[in-house]
Structures are given as structure tokens and as C-alpha cells.
Structure 1
Amino acid sequence: MAVAEIENARISSSSSTDPDGSSKDHDSQGVPVLENYVTQANVEHNLRHDFVDHRLNDPNMETEKIDAVEAALEKGDYKAEVKLEEELEEDSPYPEVRAAVSNVDDPTMPVMTFRAWTIGLFFAIVIPGVNQLLSYRYPTVTIGALVAQLLSYPIGCFMAAILPERVFKTRFGSFTLNPGPFNVKEHTIITIMSNVTYQRAYATNVAAAQRVIYHFDWGFGWILLLTISSQMIGFSMAGFCRRWLVWPASMIWPANLGTTALMSALHNQINTGEGHMTRFRMFLWVFLGSFVWYFFPGFIFLMLSVGNWFCLIAPKNVVLNQMLGTQQGLGLIPLTLDWTQVTYNGNPLYTPWWSQANVFGGFIIMYVFLGPILYYNNVWNTAYLPYAASGTYDRFGNSYQVANVTTADHKFDPEAYNAYSEEYFTITYAISFGLSFAAITGVIVHTALFHGQEIVRQFKTSLNEERDIHARLMQRYPEVPKLWYGILFVICFGLGIACVAGWDTGLPVWAFILAIIIGAFFMLPVGVVTAVSNQEVGLNVISELIIGYMCPGSPTGMMMFKVFCYMSVYQGLSFISDMKVGHYMKVPPKDMFIAQSVAIFLSCFVVIGVQDWVFSNIKNVCTKAAKDNFFCNYIIVFGAASEIWGLIGPAKLFSAGKQYNKLLWTFLAGAIFPVFVWLAARRWPRSWIRLVNAPVLFTGTGLLPPATGINFTSWALVGFTFNYMIKRYRNGWWTRYNYVFGAGLDTGTAVSAVVIFFCLVFPDGKNRAFVDGNWWGNTAFENTADYQFTPYKDLNGGAFLPPPGEFRPA
């Protein structure tokens, strides 16, 4: 029986009464009258499909709920079966979603209002522009979408109070500037327009690197084509993945739950019950507390942020500093009180504990056990380098100077390379490459084994067949036609061809097409893992490896291939994530499409314009002589990667006979490991093994380096406290407040960081805490081997290997 028919039957049966006025909702045994419209066989089929069949492939499904369903089915307890079925019909089967998303909808709420467009476009212009400007400066600060979400609420309420309510009639219809109180759907549209634009456009790095590293500029038109095509082609591909990544209830997208919880709190959508503090009041207190507190670790007492307290016991003891340190160390005793340190790997209150346990397990196995074994045995000469640091090094233990192996016209010079040095990685960087390779094959095999049947089934499923309460509520709104996404893809594809073939980029058209194909292939498996675990498998390393082998000697081509391959997935999943927010908040899909398209298109002009202004008006930008610390550290690193992977090429690192060649075996390991996990989970379906997720284990530590151990140990500690201990033993508090608590910490810290930066740091061009507040709490951590990145072995000014030309031909 169709879901819509069941819903109609439910309404009909629930509204019927006996002649004496009593309800017929239950029979004489207390069983709900579900049998009026569905048979016991239907109920059992639904329960098996929605719960039992998910035991292996859905780690977010409550084990207790699955056990209850299995027990009811085994006993043939129809009363219990119907009760469980009703619970499924009335709300999400996932406690995380129930805690953060309302299960009701008001379809009469206006969405695309004058207020929504005015505020949304304002933030879509200001926030990406400011973030683009600040990205060139050190230290930088990013204004996130949560800040826009918070600020837009009072602005929207103010506009609702002052705008005229008069209805204007035109030949195209009537409209009003003020349709009533500022509502949650308007607020959602504004937040989404901010969320898809607040991060700087990745493609602008290419033009910036051309100016800074290679000293040429192809002008506004070329970078505009590259930026629009790379930013929006992922959006067009995302539209075709909605049925797998947006509609199903199992695709919960944990990172969105802080946004939806804050939205529900601001608009009082979810009642906390009598005698409990409202969610909004909880958010407000946490916001104010975190705002005030961040002035201490962020400005007044920096040691609270750095947290390498135990290194002060023996500041010159290298091993101690590498194990307990936070700058190049493992941070095994997490004593940071800085929320930005804790959330470097994502907000732990939003990430399910099983996912965090996988990430932390990977960190312990690969970096705490394997890493020291390799490092202190000097494998790959890593003992002459810091324990944890990004970038590449030369044989003297210094940062690799790419300028030493390039000609005056920025071509690779093999003779200079043979006379200078090979490239060397720190042990954590080398391990991270291996894990990145394993994650690529692991995500494909894991998705095929654990989600393959569901993907095939979902291919034939329409939104009307989804049983999730939120999907049923969305049935009243027309879906975006696939033609819209198809037209957008064709336009973006054409713009991409134009920017690839219209200039001497060094990237063949066939390579551009291959980048799009790779991105499209990985969109679904990476999306499935991200949607359930809050951990994304990045394609940046594999894209660099592929293009480096295919088209060596082309830095610009390498950068463009990476942009299209990596960003088609990253940006596409960002759009899908926002589609899920709209799905949760019951925003019509067509309105979402229009808002997202307009916002990202407009922001492309903004970020390119800001970048052009920076290079035209800031003297000595991207050099150490730049005013106000506009050093462009990120651009320098991005450009150096183009030289290392595009100019020198990965063949000199990973090919047969090269020192890192064995890391390529991790591709095979990544493909095999999920098979063992799947077989073990089928053999012991009730054990913890079903929660082992190979892609999450491989990719969860992908930010290390530049992240260090403290970003994972503190993150896991907070996650264990909230999403395991409190969720298990104080579930009422967790359900009411966990997500608004996390949102309060995020927004309070973010706003505080903005105030500190613009009011205390930016005016002097430096952090005055190091000048006016030059006291122990702001300087002690500098006098440690941890902060100074001291390696285990000292070269004493020498080299640990001769140049490659003397012992290893290029």
C-alpha cells in the first residue's frame, strides 16, 4: 500500500469515534487500529526493511531498537510490532535527528520573500568577500555560516517589524514586502545561501599561484570561467544524487544537525517540556559563555590553547616533546581549553561516537604505534625531520626549495635536481599519503559491500515511496526537474572546456573530461560515507598523483585538474548537505535550487573581485615584506604543491626504485580490509565489528598534518563525553540540549574570534598579546623542542644522504 494511502487511512481512522464519543484509535487490547489499513505481513515487512536489514549497513541505527524489533518479530507480538511501526511513522528512527529536527511542517509559510532575498544576498556578498580578503593574511580568521545564521535572525525579525504590510498588485501577480513574522523557512534559505558561499573559491588559488609563483596573469575572464565552472559543476552532479543522499532517512548528515537544532531553537519548533530550560535560553547562555571564554585561550593566555604543559617538565627532551607536544607531537594528554583546537577536525558534538571511535582508532594504530616505530628506527630518514609537519624537506633537513630545481622560465631542471636533493616527507606526512591511497579504494569496496543493495533499490525508488516522516512531508512540494540540473551541467562543462582549451594551460581536454568522470564516479560512495559518519574522503591527493603521472611538467594543468576533480566532489557534497538541511526544514526543492544557484554564481564575482583588488592595492602582497601580514601562506603552499606534483612530478617519489614506492601497496590494502570487516560483520552481526568503517578509519585523520595529535585526542575525549557517556546515561539532557550546546560553542567562539581579530589583532598588524601581554602564559610554550620542531636526530649542519645524481639516477 502506498505511503500516501496509509497516511490518509491513518488520518481517517484516528478521527473516527464511537457513538459515545470514545476514540477508535485502539482496540480492546490496546493495539492501535493500524490493522484497519495494513496487514500484519505489511507491518512485519516494513519493520524488517527499516530496522533489521540495516543492522550491518547503518551504524547510526540504535542497536536497542533493532533488538526490540527482532524480538517482536521472533515472538510474533503483533501489539509490539504495531507500536514500533507507529513510532517509525511519527518521527525519524534516529535519535540524533529527533533531537535536532522538527517532525511537523507548515506548507503555508512564505519562503522566497523580499526579506529572505535581501538578507541572503547581503551575506552571500559580504561573507565570502571578507573571508577571501582575510585568507591572504596571517593569522587568518574565517566567518562561518553559523555566524550568518545567528545574525540573520534579529535582522529578519527587525525587518518584519518595520517593513510595510501593504500588498502590491502587478500584472504578474501580487506581492508584499512583509508577509508576516520572520519564519524558519526564510531563515533556512538565508543560512543556505551563506553556507554555500562562505568558503573561499578553491579555483582562485590557481590564478593567485600564477601571479605569486610563476609571475603571469591571464586576466579576469579566464579565472571567472574556471571559478564558475568548478564551483557549479559539482552542484549539477549533486542534483542527480538526491535519491541516494538526500531522500533516505539513513543519510542523516550529522554536521547539519547543529544548524537544524539552532534553527529549531530560535523558532521554538521543538518543545523541551515543562520544568526544563528552553533550547534558545540554553543556546544563549552557552553562546555568551564561549564568547567571553575565548578571549583567554585566543588572546590573553595562549598557553590555554597550545596546551603543551607537560613539555615544560623537560623542554629539551625531544621524545617527551614529540609524544606529549601539540605543535609537532601526538598530544597524548589533551589539556587544551581552546574550542578551536577541539573542533579542528569538526565539532565532536555533531559526530556520532562510533565514527569518532573509528577515527581515533586509526589515529592510535597509525600514528601512536606505527608512527614512532618507523620514526625512531629512521625509516625513510624521517628521524632527521620533525615528527609531525606538512610540506617536503631536502636532504639537509630544511624545507624543500623548489626554486633550486627550476629554470628561469619555471621548467624542471633535472641536472639541478640531481645536484640538489630528492624530496622527503615527515613520518606523519608519509603515513597520511598511505591512508589517502587506502581510503580511495576502501570507500569503493566498502560502499559496494555495505550499501550496494540499497543503492540499487534506491535507483528505482521515488520520493513518494520513502517512509521517513521528513520525506513524506516533502512529498507536497514538487521536485526539481532533472532537466534543470542537466542544463546547468552542460553550461558548466562548456565553460570548463573554454578555460582549458582557450589558454595554454597544459591540460588537455581529455584530461579535463577525465577529472569530471573521476569526480562523478566518487560522488556517491564518498557521499554515502560522509552522510552517515561526518567524515569525507578527499580526492586532492589522488588527483595530484594521477595528473602528475599523466601530464608531468605542467604546474597550471596540475592545479586545474585538481580543482575540477577534487572540487566537483567537495563542492557537490556541500550542495547536497545543504539540500538535506532544506529537506529537514521542509523548504521547497525548487526554491533551494534557485537560492543556491544565485548565491554561488554571485559569490564567484565577489571573490575574484576581492582577489584582484588585493593584488592591485596591497604592496608586496604574498611576500614577507607585505604590510599587515598579508603573507599568503596558503597560496605559497598551494603553489609549492603545483611545483612538486606538477613540475617535478610524483614519479620521482613513488615509482619503482623510489623510496616511497611501497606506499602504493596501500591501494591494495584499502581494497582488502573492508572485505574482512564485511565478512566478520556478517558472521557476528550483533558485535561491535559492524561499527568498523574502513573509509572513516583511513580518512578520518586526513588533516594530520597540518593538524597534530591534540586535535584528535581532545576531539575524541569531548565526543566520548557527550555522544557516549551523556547520551547513554543522561539521554534526556542529551536529546534536549546536545546540538544547541554545540551550536552555542561554535557561534560564540567564532564571533569572539572575529572581534579579537578586528579589534585587537588587525589594528596593529600583530597579536598584541605577544607585546603588551609578554608574560609566561604567552611565551612559555615557545621554549620547547615541541614548538621549535626539533627532530630526533641532529644533522649538525650536514646531510643525511648525498644528492640523487651521485647514487640514484633521476
Structure 2
Amino acid sequence: MAMGFLRSLRRRREDEVVPDMEGSLEGDSTGFASLKQFEKMHRFDPNLPLDELEEVDIALNTDNVEKGAEIEQILAEDNSPYPEVRASVRNFDVDMPVNTIRAWTIGMTLCTIGSAVNMLLSLRNPGIALTTFVIQLIAYPLGLLWDLIFPDRVFNVWGLKFNFRPGPFNFKEHVIIVVMSNDFGWLWQIMFGITTLCTGYGLAGLARRFLVWPAAMIWPTDLVNCALFYTLHDHSPTDPARANGWSISRYKWFMLVFAGSFLWYWFPGYLFQGLSWFCWLTWIWPENVIVNQLFGGYSGYGLFPLTFDWSIITAYLMSPLIPPFHAIVNVLGGITIFFVIISLGIHYSGMWYAAYLPVQNSHAFDNTGHQYNVSAILNENLHFDEAKYNAYSPLYLPTQFALAYGLSFAATAAVITHVAFYHGPEIWTRWKLARSQEDDVHMRLMKKYRDAEDWWYLLLFVIMLGLSFAVVCAWDTNFPWWAYIVCILIPMVWTIPIGIVQAITNIQLGLNVLTEFIVGYMLPGRPLAMMMFKNYGYLCMSQALYFIQDLKLGHYMKVPPRVMFWSQLLASIWSAIVQIAVMNWALATIPDVCSETQIHQWNCPSARVFYTASIIWGAIGPARMFSGDALYSSLQWFWLVGAVAPIITWFLARRYRRGFWRYVNMPLIFGGSGMMPPATVFIYYCWGIVGTIFNFFIRRRKTGWWLQYNYVTSSALDCGLILSTLVIFFALYLSGTEAPRWFGNTSALSTLDMLSKAVQKPMAPGETFGPSTWP
């Protein structure tokens, strides 16, 4: 039966073409050796189905060369060994024009619009982004409209030949458009933005052999993109035998779900905003501190997670339909252990003066229970003034915020240890094989195209290093050149380990705390230098991973690598300019922008966390917060816990090779909560519940439906939500039309939880808490 299942992986469409194999593997000891290598590389792979690994074990243990070679050919050559990839990505290539005027024109236009809108929407709470799925949806009718307007004719202008419509609009052009649109004292701002983006792009190209070419690096978000590309360009009905009896085409299903999502968001987004944070117990007892702390979703523990708003579910973690179930379980496990069980013990024991503070908030506080006033401890040069600090107050963090720092320490250490033990031999093998690695059919098919040379990316990286030195040295930033050298080493070390975790789980771990920690000791008392160090150290890696994700998308869709290189590079530079322009416009135009009291929730949640971090690490410094006898010094133990924990699980996974432990991912348990704050336990639980329904129950019981419709459903929900949000904002809010004033939009949003005032011991005017002296 298992062999029959494996053979079923070989079924293809009638029009599918796969280049001939260089030689048969049947009965070939070379293929058997390759199977051994396959087993070694995928031994701890949580995404590979267990029955396929068991077939490999049987072949190896019985020394059946012929059977082993057959399995190796099925798993690694004819198609991807991953069901998600087989369902979303075609295992054949079709020659079609890619580098066209049509693709560049539509791509740069949408790059401009997308960068501007995303910059604007990043200021909103909860955050909304114009995702690649929306760009895909918008680009499709634009491509069809282009075909109606322009002729399929070759023009010759002074010997330069070109065609505005070289055949029908195709999905490879569609990929280029989406990739361009996904790279989202003005001279200093522009230079700073461009160097951050393009340094990340240089890193991305150099990491391709580890994060793009291997089949195990599936990048789940790219599978959603691929499914949507094929959905928009292929309207054929679904075979009911493959989809648990469903025959509706994926295109029709997408349009139905998209329309439903668009219409529904008018309720939580405008008519009944209480549906977003449906914490009904706090509505009954809006002034009860304990009820609001335990069951409040905005600033409490959110122990009764219920929302009817897709924007809440996807606010900080993207769609829960995308990550594999094992990733969801690891993230929820970490949230439950640390941010519920341990946090409850810490908060209600009064540790860290928790009784005087909310459970969760994006702000730091002083000893009067008010938000920390950073200007009270800085001099006119924005440097730390110790005398002012001693006269004012130490800094206090809400319980969840403090724990988030500890878990960030653990995750930063754990990802290095985890990747070294679980993926170390694989990384070494990839380094030696380079582009000669033969992982699956997609890698083999891409070899027909000329690759973008490594030295292109290396040259870009070196140029960006030079420009970055100009940025930090030519302007008075209090950021010395030697500090830039230190900070650029951070993404060079952590990009591959964090990229491996993200490629497998769809969860990105952050380096923000590590960069803040290092610069806080290196350059204490310099908030601006801290923010620059964080941008170059953390955002460089983050941008590199976004670029790598796009490179994998081009890999799946068989887009020539050199076209990908130039489209990503030019779009990156342009998007940086556009985003800086929009940011300056928003700060000068939107009333009370980034204020807690901003009437339409344009209160910049991520910027507030960034601001708080600049206080902790850049002004006060980590030594006063985490060293010696400091209040939060016990959190330093998380570095050791994070470094050791993956070693323990690795030994257990080796001992019980096909058991529970192969799915335990300590970097996710520690770092999956990396968006807290501003994300909350409530948001994580809502995200996890929906993800469990789709990626465990539906996938397990209706596998055919899940393979056909799951990713399409995810993209349709996202597209409907974002377009509905844009319509509501531009049509109603900008025109001054306020939401209806009734309980669902007033009292439901006025509880202690929603106002972040659920504090056990609120301070009276003039009162203070905490010690009389502090480090």
C-alpha cells in the first residue's frame, strides 16, 4: 500500500513535460547511495510525511537496492516529497516570455502603490498590510486589460525591437510583477532606507544554496502564492475524486470567499467593532480589574479567545492556514507555558511590582504608574543624563513585556544551537555542493536558465557596505563606524539559521532584542545610534529573508534567476524612496498620528514598541535593566536555557526517531511569541485555534479538500479583508464619516482592558512605588 502511495506521487497531467533523466536509477547503487543521503538530510524534517520516511527506512534496512532506487526516484526526482508542494507547484516548466515591457510597467506601478499603502497601513492598530495576495489579484485584471489595449506586434525604433504584447499575459510575468511589488533631511532617510534594503538583498543572494535551492526549504507562504497564480490563470473545474467530492473550480471558490470576506469585514471594521475583541465577560464587568486582566484580550490574558475579525487573527502572524500544524503547536505551547502559566504566577505574586502595572502593554512605565517620559532623562544632545535619571524614576515593564525579553534571549541562543545540531551536516553538504545539488525536480528544471552569479550579489553587498559607511559617518548620528562593522556581522551569522526555521515553519524569529542588547552595552545613552544599529543589524536580516522568500517563489514558478535579480533590486530602491515619502506625508497630515487617543486607531503600535526599546536599550542601557542587582537580571538565565534546550530535544529525537520529539522546535517555543507586544495572548490563541481547525482537523479528515482549497481560501480571506479595509478607510474615515455610536462601538471598547487600565493597585497623584534608589 505504501509503495502504491509513493507511486501515486508520480501521476501528472497529460500535458506535463519533464526533461529526461540523465540515467535510470532502477537497480543502480548510485541511486541507493543517494537514498541514504536523502534519509540523512531529512531525518529530522517535520514536514516530510512519516510513511515516506518509513519506506526509506525499510529499503535501507533490507539492502534492497532496486526498491531503494525506485523510492529515491519517486521522492526526489519526479516530484517534490512534500504534499503541500505537490498540490501547489507544477513539476514541469513551460517556456514563455518573462522580461517584458508589460511586466515591468505593471510591476513598477504596483510597487509604487503597494509601498505607499503599506507604509500608511503600518501606522494602524491592528496592523494591516497590502500583501502579495492582493497584488496578485490586482495585477491579474491589469494584465488582461493590457492585452486588450496593446497589439501583439513587433516595433522597430532605430534598430531596437520590442513588443508590447508578446503573447497573452502569463503567470511568469505575473510572478515578476508580484516580486517587484513585494519589496516595499530626506537624503539621509533615502540613503538609510536603500542601504538597509539592498544590503539585505546582497545577503539573500549569498544564502540561496542554503535557503532557496534545497527541497526541504518549502517556504509555506510561497505555496499560497503559487496556488493563487495557478488559480487566476487556470479556471478549469476540480476533479471531485481529488477533493472529497468538491468540483467547484479553485477560481470560483476564491471569488466566493473573497466576496464573503470583503462584505463581512464591514461588521467588525465599522458597524460592530466589538466583534474584533469579543471579550464578552469584560462587557458584563467592565470595571472589574481581575475579570479584565484574565479575560481581556487587548491588555490582559485573553483566556476566552473569541473574535469574528480576520484582521485580528492575522494582525501580526499572517494567516494561520499557512504554517504546518507542528509549527502552530510549538508556538501555542510556548505561549501557554510562558505567557499564561508562568506569567500568571509572576503577575499575581507581585514580582517586578506587577500589581502596579497592566498585564500587557507596549509601553514602559515610571514609578507613578504612568508611561515613561524619556525626555526627562535626556540632555539637549539626546544623550543619557544620569542625574536626571536618578531624580526621575527607574523603568518598569508590564509582565508580558518583560517575559518577552527573556524569551527573546532564549530564542536567539536556541536558533543557533538548534540549527547546528539538527541541520549542521546539511549546511556543510550544501556548501560543498552549491548549485550541483540535486534535490528535486524544481532544482533540476531551473538549471536550464542562466543563474544570477554569486559575485553579483557579493558586489552589491560590498557597495551597500560602502554607502552605509557614508550614511553613518557623513551625518551627525552618534553612530561610530566601528559599531556598524559589529552590527553587520549579526545578520551575516543569523540569516541562515533563522531562515531555515522560517522556511520550514513559516515563523520568522527576530533579532531585534539581540541588536538592542549588544548596542546597549556598546553605546549606552545614545537612542538614535541604537535605532540605527537595530535597523542595520535586525532589519537587514529581515529584508534578506523577504528577498529569499521571493527567490524561492521564482524557483517554484521557474522564472529565470537573472530576471528575478534585476526586478527585485530596482524595485527595492524605488520602494524605499516611496515609503519614506509617504511616511513624511502621514506624520505631517494625519491628526494625532501615533497617539494613543487617535480616533481611527492610527496609533503606530510597532513604532511605540520601537520607541520603548530605544528607551530601555539606547538611553538607560541594558546594564541598568538586566545586569547585577537590576530588577530584571533574572531574565539573563534565558540565554543559557535557550542554548541548552535544543540539545536535549535533539538527543530525544535521535533516540525516538519517529516519535513526538522530532516535531519539538525549541526556537519556536521560545521565539514564536516574538510579536508580543504589541500582539497579545488573545491574538495568538485566536490564530492558533483557526490554524488547528484547518491544518489538523480538516487536513486530517478531508485531505483532498485541504490540498485543493486551503491555500486558496487563505489568500481569498486576506484579499477580501485588505480591500474592504481600504474602502472603509478612504470612503468613510477620510471623509469624516464616523462609525455608528452604539454599544458595539463605544461601551464594548471602553472596558478597563481596552483602555489598558486593568491595574490591581492604581497609584494616586503624588504616590510612587518601588525602591528609593536604583541602579
Q: Same fold (TM over 0.5)?
A: yes
SS at match of 2:680: coil
Q: CA RMSD in A?
A: 2.6
Aligned counterpart for 1:559 among listed residues 514, 531, 548: 531
Pick from 268, 280, 284: which aligns with 1:297?
Answer: 268
Q: Which residue of 1 aligns with 2:289?
A: 318
CA shift, 1:680, in A, is: 0.8
Q: 1:173 and 1:547, CA in 2 relative to 1: closer, same or farther beyond 3 A?
A: same
Cα pair distance change 1:586/1:636, threshold 3 Å: same
Q: Is the 8 A contact 1:245 1:528 kept in 2?
A: yes
Deviation sequence 1:242-280 (CA, Å, 0-9, x none) = 000000000001122211110111122997325611111
Q: Deviations over 1:214-252 (max 9, x none)?
A: xxxxx2222222111111101011111000000000000
- Report the CA distance between 1:347 and its aligned residue: 1.0
Contact 2:404/2:673 (8 A) holds in 1: yes
1:228 aligns with 2:194: yes
Residue equivalent to 2:754: 787
Shift of 1:463: 2.8
Give unmatched runs, 5+ long, in structure 1: 1-9, 15-32, 198-218
Asked whether the equivalents of residues 520 and 568 of structure 1 are also in contact (C-alpha less than 8 Å), the reply is no
Instruction: Choose the corresponding residue for 1:424, options 392, 396, 402.
Output: 396
Choose from 285, 297, 306 the match for 2:256: 285
Q: CA deviation at 1:683?
A: 1.0
Q: Does 1:252 align with 2:239?
A: no
Of the structure 1 ranges 72-81 and 233-242, higher mean CA displacement relative to structure 2 is found in 72-81
Most deviating of 388-397 and 606-615:
606-615
Kept in 1, the 8 Å contact 2:368–2:769? The answer is no
- 1:193 match: 180
Find out whether 1:267 has 2:238 as its counterpart.
no
Aligned equivalent of 2:131, options 137, 144, 160:
144
Give, in whole Å, the separation in 2 of the partners of 1:675 and 1:141: 38
- Which residue of the partner structure matches residue 337 of structure 2? 365
Structure 1 distance, partners of 2:748, 2:599, is: 27
Structure 2: give runs of 5+ residues left out of the alignment: 1-9, 15-20, 241-245
Q: Give, in angstroms, the shift of residue 762 of structure 1.
A: 2.1
Corresponding position of 1:335: 306
Moved more, 474-483 or 68-77: 68-77
Cα distance, 1:449–1:622 mapped onto 2, change above 3 Å: closer
In structure 2, the CA distance between the partners of 1:456 and 1:159, relative to structure 1 (3 Å rule), is same
Q: For residue 320 of structure 1, report the CA deviation from its aligned partner.
A: 2.8
The AA in structure 2 aligned to 1:323 is L
Higher alpha-carbon deviation: 775-784 or 583-592: 775-784
Q: Match for 2:155: what amino acid?
A: F
Corresponding position of 1:520: 492
Aligned to 1:98: 86
Instruction: Give 1:28's aligned residue.
Output: none
In 2, Cα distance between the equivalents of 1:623 and 1:430?
Answer: 23
What residue identity is the alignment partner of 1:105? D
Q: Is 1:67 the equivalent of 2:54? A: yes
The letter for the 2-side match of 1:285 is L
Q: Does 1:703 align with 2:675?
A: yes
Match of 1:605 in 2: 577
> How many angstroms does 1:80 deviate by?
5.2
- The aligned residue for residue 463 of structure 1 is 435
Q: Could you say if the C-alpha distance between residues 222 and 111 of structure 1 is closer, same or farther in structure 2, counting changes exceeding 3 Å? A: same
Return the offset for 1:623: 6.9
Distance 1:709 1:538 in 2: 18
Q: Give the Å deviation of 1:83.
A: 4.9
Give the stretch that moved more between structures: 136-145 or 283-292.
136-145
Q: Contact 1:442 / 1:694 at 8 angstroms: preserved in 2?
A: yes
Opposite residue 279 of structure 1, the aligned amino acid is R
Whole-angstrom distance in 1 between the partners of 2:424 and 2:175? 33
Greater alpha carbon shift after TM alignment, 565-574 vs 67-76: 67-76
Q: Secondary structure, in 3 states, of the residue corresponding to 1:175?
A: strand
CA offset digits 1:67-124 (Å, max 9, x no partner): 2332344455667545533432221101111121121211x20001111011000011
Q: TM-score, normalised by structure 1?
A: 0.88
Paired position in structure 1 for 2:5: none
Q: 1:739 to 1:632 in 2, by over 3 A?
A: closer
Alignment partner of 1:735 is 2:707: yes
Q: Secondary structure at the match of 1:306?
A: coil
1:160 matches 2:147: yes
The amino acid of 1:321's aligned partner reads N
Aligned to 2:720: 748
CA distance in 2, matches of 1:246, 1:44: 25
Number of corresponding residues = 750
Residue 165 of structure 1 contacts residue 176 of structure 1 at CA under 8 Å; is this kept in 2?
yes
Shift of residue 196, structure 1, vs aligned partner: 1.4
Identity of aligned residues (%): 41
Partner residue in 2 for 1:670: 642
Q: Which residue of 2 aligns with 1:203?
A: none
SS at match of 2:545: helix
Are 1:286 and 1:744, in contact at CA under 8 Å, matched by a contact in 2?
yes
**Deviations for 1:448-498, whole angstroms, at most 9, x for unmatched residues?**
000000000000113343231111110101111112112211211111000
Query: Equivalent residue for 2:102?
Result: 115
Cα distance in 1 for partners of 2:763, 2:429 equals 64
Aligned position for 2:18:
none
Q: Distance in 1 between matches of 2:565 and 2:627?
A: 45
Hey, what does 1:44 align to over in structure 2? 32
Question: Which residue matches 1:243?
Answer: 209
Which residue of 49, 55, 59 maps to 2:43?
Answer: 55
Query: In structure 1, how many angstroms separate the alpha carbons of the residues matched to 2:326 and 2:654?
Result: 18
Worse overlay, 775-784 or 253-262? 775-784
Q: Deviations over 1:564-594 (max 9, x none)?
A: 0011100011100000000011000000000
Matches within 5 A, 1:304-703: 304-344=275-315, 345-614=317-586, 635=607, 638-703=610-675
> In the alignment, does 2:741 pair up with 1:774?
yes
Letter in 1 for 2:705: W
What is the CA–CA distance in structure 2 between the aligned matches of 1:47 and 1:135, rounded to whole Å?
A: 47
Which position in structure 2 is the counterpart of 1:797?
764
Residues 52, 70 of structure 1: 8 Å contact kept? no
**Matched-pair contact (CA < 8 Å) for 2:27–2:69:** no
TM-score between both structures, scaled by the size of structure 2: 0.92
> SS state of the match for residue 548, structure 2?
helix
Deviations 1:735-789 (A, max 9, x none): 111110111111111111111111122211x7x22xxx22222234234332233
CA displacement at 1:359 relative to structure 2: 0.2
Query: Which stretch of the first structure deviates more once superposed, 356-365 or 302-311?
Result: 302-311
Q: CA 1:778–1:630 in 2, change beyond 3 Å: closer, same or farther?
A: closer
